Amino acid sequence: MTTDNIFSGLKVVDLASFLAGPGAATVLSDFGAEVIKVEPPGIGDPHRITYKIPPNPSATENYGWHLSNRNKRGMAVDLKSPRSREILERLVKWADVLVVNFPQPVRKRLKLTYEDVAPWNPRLIYADLTGYGDVGPDADLPGFDLTAYWARSGLLALTRDAGAPPTLPVPASGDHATAIGLYSAIVTGLYRRERTGQGAYVTTSLIGEGIWSSAMSVQAALCGAKFYPLHDRKNPPNAVFNVYQTSDDHWFLIVVQGKDWPALAAGIGHPELVSDPRFTDDAKRAANSAQLTDILDKVFSSQPLAHWHDALERAHVTYGIVRTPAEVITDPQVLANDIIVPIEGGGEHLKFTVTSPLKVHGVQKVAARRGPELGEHNDELLKELGYNGDEIDGLRTSGAIPPVWHETETSGGVR
């Protein structure tokens, strides 16, 4: 496997906050891009403290920060300070990619629109993440994955059982999906630059990514389709596309096509179900789904998961075990595919992280390193941008950058 990194030499400035924008920059960094994370002084990116806020899991280590900002060097710059403008200009001239997610009014006040910065670097890929898109009545609204990706897109209305209200989805799941979408837009812009020599303004939105995730249902609505009621596990549209519980309280789901119905019936030890007049074809099984579900409930609840794992494997029936996060991290299949990887520089409880889901065979990803402390690399990076010591002191005096960062300082990171 080669150690050459696909994006070696690619320079990225990450001005974004929270997860989706920074996540796209992290994927680039996994393949060798050099990423500078720029945050405001004070608390920095608000994502630094989200691990302390319910319902996010509580932990000693700031797991979310390092997941979304590994491999980056960090700067703290007050973009409201007049002298920060010269720092920003040098960063943009240095960069191949600039990632932003400020709401449009904030972006305009800070003079960070594409039109403001593109003249500094005509080859720049300006990667813009919004909550609700570039235009329209709600274009200026801030958006989170819960509000834009999940709620506004239709996903939250669909992912619940009959009779249950909408519930909170898995934290950051929409952000991480959107990060891959923004990464794809960036790579598309880079490919265009390779062909034309010109930079590009690329964008995606949380609502657009959410609607793409729910596009089967949204497309059905566009076609005037008739929707089934919300899923009712006891009376589903299809009993062999349903979730069941074992005797040791594990849940798993089966996904069985009509042609595989005999294999399922034989595999669970009830071949007589195939000739039962209620279940002889797809239409009859659908009409009698509540009765079939009741039968399968009794069968599956009679044995532990290990028994059904072996039985369904032998029968070649498609099934999926409902894993908890604690079970996922020890799953042999997950570990065999290097989805969980070591992270360098983490604390006592941060020795591993989740890598991005993209893989290029024959190319090894960069070894994961902890995310930066707030302003940790200010002096180092400013010198690389051409500032001398006196000039850096002047920037500090002006308030464009905060006081000198010390090794003993922490800002939600790991030490």
Tens of pLDDT along 321-353?
A: 999 999 999 999 999 999 999 999 988 899 999
170 falls within a domain: yes
- Burial grade of 58 (CB within 10 A; 0-12, 13-18, 19 or more): exposed
Give pLDDT tens digits for 201-210: 999 999 999 9
234 falls within a domain: no
Please give the pLDDT value at position 101.
97
- Model confidence at 134: pLDDT above 70: yes
Query: In this structure, what CATH number is given to the domain that contains residue 200?
Result: 3.40.50.10540
3 falls within a domain: no
412 falls within a domain: no
Structural domain count, the chain: 2
282 falls within a domain: yes
Please give the pLDDT value at position 30.
97
Residues 101 and 24 in one domain: yes
Find the domain containing 294 and state its range. Answer: 241-326
Give pLDDT tens digits for 262-283: 999 999 999 999 999 999 999 9
Please give the pLDDT value at position 413.
46
153 in Cβ contact with 213 (< 8 Å): yes
Residues 135 and 269 in one domain: no
223 falls within a domain: no
Residues 258 and 347 in one domain: no
Give the residue from 326, 359, 388 where a domain finishes.
326
Please give the pLDDT value at position 5.
86
Query: What average pLDDT score do residues 160-180 get?
Result: 93
Confidence of residue 20 (pLDDT cuts 50, 70, 90): very high
403 falls within a domain: no
- Model confidence at 415: pLDDT above 50: no
Residue 314: partners with Cβ closer than 8 Å, 6 or more residues away: 267
Residues 178 and 81 in one domain: yes
Please give the pLDDT value at position 2.
58
